[in-house]
Every structure is written in structure tokens, then in C-alpha cells.
Amino acid sequence: MRSRNKIATLAICALALHPGFVRAATHTNLIYNVSIGFNVTQQDYIPLSTNQFVFVVRKSTFGTQNIAAALANSPLFRTNHLEGGKLLFRVTDLGTNRDASFILRKGTNDVDMRDYMSLSFPSLSVTSKAPASTGATTNATDYTTLDVSLAGTPGGYFDAQGFCIVKNTSVLNGRTLIQAQEFPATIAANLAGTGATGGKTSFFKGTILISGRRVEIRDY
């Protein structure tokens, strides 16, 4: 009986070491909702004759759904059938090896959009920080600037910057404390910048809100 148990144990170890039976790693990720709204002022012109035209300004809007559609129809992802996908912000592997990017989520399929859309902070910020009421967690508020850009999509592109407030809290999954050190819970900014829509020069002015932080624990 002991010999049979040893053989079974060795077989399990062999399966675990075989490349075809590698166990999935557990990843603790954070998912945020994204809301972007721009008022767009676009340069246009009206032809009067063969060699005459007048410059005019067109007003429009460009927001979260427009961005998601532009990303879904970009050359790199056109065959992924991401139409109707939701634009989200994701932090993968919370901890020292974390990474962050915008994603498009459709069903259970998450597609990284870092090649087309990015978010960055400068090195300078001012911070207000205090322990939370529980004593085991902390809250902090950062005042800084934010840069958000969209590039390479047929629907348009922009590069916008502005004043930003980041609200930070400890990370919990329900009542379970995941990380005591504070981490961004909401990011809100007023933005202005330049770009193009419909192939025409445009100015963008609006807001971005990254909020609704939630923990997703996945094996892959």
C-alpha cells in the first residue's frame, strides 16, 4: 500500500512539472470604469467657388463610446470583433510588479489598448494623507496634472492635459483587506488639448473620471 501511495505522489509531481500541466498563476487585478467627455471645436471650410472658400468652425462631442468605437475599429484590432466593447482601466498584479493600461472588454475578452491610448502623471504632486478611522487603512489625496492621449485610430486622436485630483484609499475586496497602503480609487481631471476628428484639426476640452474601483482575482 505504501509503495502504491508513493507512486501516486510521484505521478502528481511529474504532472505538475510537465509543461503541458503548468498551473495557472493567480493575479490580483483592479478594474475601473472610465468616463470621458469632450466638447470638440473643429476647423472646417465651405467652398464658394473653384478657388474661393470660407473658414468655419464645427461644434461636436467626443466621448467614451466614440473612443471605444475608434479603438475597436483600429487596424490592429479590427478582426477581434470588439464593437460594443466597454472601455475600462485595469491595473494588473497589484503590488510591486503592477502594470496599468486602458482595455476594451467584450464578454470575457479583455484586450490591452496601450498601443493606442495612454495615461501618464508627472513626477510632481502635492499630497494630503491621514489614517482612516479603522487605523489599519489609510486615505490620501494627490493634486497633480494628468496627460491622456489617443493615437492611431481612424475615428480621431487627441493629446489632452489638465489639473487632476486623485483620491487614494486602502484596497479591500468586500471586507477583506488586500493592501493597506493607499492606492488610487478615483482619478478626476479637467482636460484640454489638440487633435483631430474626421481628419480635421480639432481642439478638445472636457473631463475624465476613472472610478468604481473593484478587485478581480483571476487565474491565467
SS (H, E, C) 20-87: HHCCCCEEEEEEEEEEEEEEEEEEEEEEEECCEEEEEEEEEEEEHHHHHHHHHCCCCCHHHCCCCCEE
Q: Is the pLDDT of residue 198 over 50?
A: yes
pLDDT (mean) for 186-201: 95
Within a domain: residue 208?
yes
Q: Is the pLDDT of residue 12 over 70?
A: no
Q: Give the whole-number percent of the chain exceeding pLDDT 70.
A: 87
Q: Is the pLDDT of residue 132 over 80?
A: no
Q: What is the identity of the amino acid at 72?
A: A
Within a domain: residue 148?
yes
Within a domain: residue 16?
no
Nearest to 68 by CA among 90, 100, 35, 101: 35
Distance CA 193, CA 116 (A): 17
Q: Give the DSSP H or E segment for 196.
A: strand 176-197
Full residue range of the structural domain in which residue 133 is found: 25-219
Global pTM? 0.84
pLDDT (mean) for 90-99: 92
pLDDT of the residue at 47: 87
Within a domain: residue 19?
no
Within a domain: residue 157?
yes
What does pLDDT average to over the chain? 87
Distance CA 72, CA 155 (A): 10
Using DSSP's 3-state secondary structure scheme, residue 123 falls into coil
- Angle, CA 181 vertex, CA 175 and CA 185 arms, to 5°: 70
Confidence of residue 17 (pLDDT cuts 50, 70, 90): very low
Q: Is the pLDDT of residue 114 over 80?
A: yes
pLDDT (mean) for 66-73: 94
Within a domain: residue 58?
yes
Within a domain: residue 1?
no
Domain tally, the chain: 1
For the ranges 20-24, 28-32, 149-153, 202-206, the lowest mean pLDDT is seen at 20-24
91 strand-pairing partners: 30, 100
Q: Give the whole-number percent of the chain exceeding pLDDT 90.
A: 65
Within a domain: residue 55?
yes
Between 21 and 108, the more confident residue is 108
Confidence of residue 130 (pLDDT cuts 50, 70, 90): confident
